[in-house]
Amino acid sequence: MTTIGAALMAWYGSENRFFLYSLSLFLCYWGVFLALLTITLYIVMLDIRFIHLQYTLGKRDLFRQTLGDESFRKELIEAQQRDARNGRAGAAKRKPPT
């Protein structure tokens, strides 16, 4: 609604020049326009932050469902121990690249 209001005020202000004869009317009109535009940009910023928050919460939930799960961790540790016992080259035995 604020975006539409600011757009209509910008169009109306450029088409009709009746308020150019009064400085106070001019300042009031364009002050309201700038306030609506600022509110619109603030709402956009809040929306972007909310989307980022939802994305971060989704990543955290996905991590908790996979790597964060205790049963998965136990199975992973057991698999690493089995590999170490069987003599397979696990991640712990690899040499770092030189």
Q: Interhelix angle for 23-65 vs 2-15, to 10°?
A: 150
95 located within any domain:
no
**Predicted local confidence at residue 94, as pLDDT:** 56
Instruction: Tell me the pLDDT tens digit for each residue of 3-57.
Output: 788 888 877 777 777 667 788 888 888 888 899 889 999 999 999 999 999 999 9
Within a domain: 15: yes
Provide the domain count of the chain: 1
Please check whether residue 43 lies inside any domain of the structure: yes
1 vs 56, which has greater pLDDT? 56
* Pick from 90, 73, 72: nearest CA to 81: 90
**pLDDT at residue number 92:** 54
Is residue 53 a part of any domain in this protein? yes
| pLDDT surpasses 60 at 96 | no
pLDDT band at 67; cut points 50, 70, 90: confident
Which tops the pLDDT comparison, 71 or 52?
52
Range of the domain at 78: 2-86
Q: Is residue 98 part of a domain?
A: no
Per-residue pLDDT at 95 exceeds 70: no
Helices (H), 16-98: 23-65, 70-86
Inside any domain, residue 93: no
